[in-house]
Structure 1
Amino acid sequence: MAQVKAVTKFARISAFKAREVTRAIQGLPAADALERLEFYPKKAARIVYKTLHSAIANAENNNNLDRAGLIVKEAIVGEGPTFKRFQPKARGSAGPIRKRTSHVRIVLEEGETKAAKAKAEKAAKAAAKPKKEKAKKAE
């Protein structure tokens, strides 16, 4: 199965906040994930949306894959470097400010969704299992 990935580095959002969004799209078909991200009420959703859109474009242009058959195999957010700043405080002291960054990685895979696989397995089991005949009562 072909895998396609897209990475956004140094996104100005903490990895902790962005992971909530990536958990919501993991395992979904790519088209459904895009739709869900479009209405997700978080700043991280916009960043993940752009990365996912880029991954879909990579699949179509570089690997000649069909958009309909793509599934989000991995959606990972790792911590990037932290920008350190200082906020002046009372009596000449200073408090630290940490501006956290993150790296977003999305891997798409060509294949069927989990629901489609489960349905196919269920149909295969039903076809393999012989039907039981009911015994008739002798009167």
Structure 2
Amino acid sequence: MQVLSIHRYAKISPFKAREVTREIQGKPALDALAQLKLVPKKAAPLILKVLKSAIANAENNDHLRPELLVIKEAVIGEAVTMKRMMTRARGSAGTIRKRTSHIRIVLTDEIPIVRRSDRPTKDKSIKKITLSSKVKKTVSTEIQNAADSQEMQLPSD
């Protein structure tokens, strides 16, 4: 069963809030609570509030135990942007964008999501260059001509 909690129009930039949600996605809800209390970012208390609300919704509405809950999704969506003006030099004006975001957390009591720690990288072996027969002949004749033109002299004692 899935439980949803949303905070709309949170007064924080989505870019800054996504830093925090990336860290808690896929973790057990109680572990994420403990981790969010220690994160020194402005977004952490906002996300913590939404997570507590989602856990309370799961307990009261759906009678789920908080120990079994796992964060299935922690999504930060972009909300409206309030535009303000700031006066600049020579009578011009610059825009200030005050960004807001929607914080959405989905909890589930189903089997925890197993995340890959690192995707295995492909072996990038060196590709061998294959030469056509005409190129091989011309290269070998050029090498022989160069060797013939330059006589190898041994150092005399």
Normalising TM by the smaller chain, what interval? 0.7 to 0.9
Equivalent AA in structure 2 for residue 34 of structure 1? L
TM value normalised by structure 2 = 0.70
Equivalent AA in structure 1 for residue 73 of structure 2? E
The alignment partner of 1:52 has SS state of: helix
Percent of counterpart pairs with the same letter?
57
CA distance in 2: counterparts of 1:113 and 1:59, whole angstroms: 16
After TM superposition, the runs of 4+ consecutive aligned structure 1 residues lying more than 4 A away are none
The alignment partner of 1:6 has SS state of: strand
Match of 2:39 in 1: 40
Equivalent AA in structure 1 for residue 23 of structure 2? A
Change (3 A) 1:112 1:43: same
TM value normalised by structure 1 = 0.79
Q: Which has the higher contact order (CA 8 A, sep 6+)?
A: 1
The alignment partner of 2:107 has SS state of: strand
The alignment partner of 2:60 has SS state of: helix
The alignment partner of 1:101 has SS state of: strand
More strand by share: 1
Maintained 8 Å contact 1:28/1:71 = yes
Maintained 8 Å contact 1:72/1:109 = yes
* Residue 111 of structure 1, CA deviation: 3.0
Residue segments in structure 1 that go unaligned for 5+ positions in a row:
116-139
Match of 1:30 in 2: 29
CA distance in 1: counterparts of 2:60 and 2:33, whole angstroms: 18
Maintained 8 Å contact 1:21/1:44 = yes
CA distance in 2: counterparts of 1:9 and 1:39, whole angstroms: 24
Maintained 8 Å contact 2:72/2:113 = no
Does 2:115 align with 1:111?
no
Does 2:52 align with 1:60?
no
CA distance in 1: counterparts of 2:26 and 2:91, whole angstroms: 52
* Residue 112 of structure 1, CA deviation: 4.1
Match of 1:120 in 2: none
* Residue 113 of structure 1, CA deviation: 3.5
Give the aligned length.
Answer: 114
Does 2:80 align with 1:81?
yes
Maintained 8 Å contact 1:69/1:112 = no
Equivalent AA in structure 2 for residue 25 of structure 1? I
Equivalent AA in structure 2 for residue 77 of structure 1? I
Equivalent AA in structure 2 for residue 113 of structure 1? P
Q: Which has the larger radius of gyration?
A: 2
The alignment partner of 2:34 has SS state of: helix
Equivalent AA in structure 2 for residue 18 of structure 1? A
Alignment map for 1:90-129 (pairs within 5 Å) = 90-114=89-113
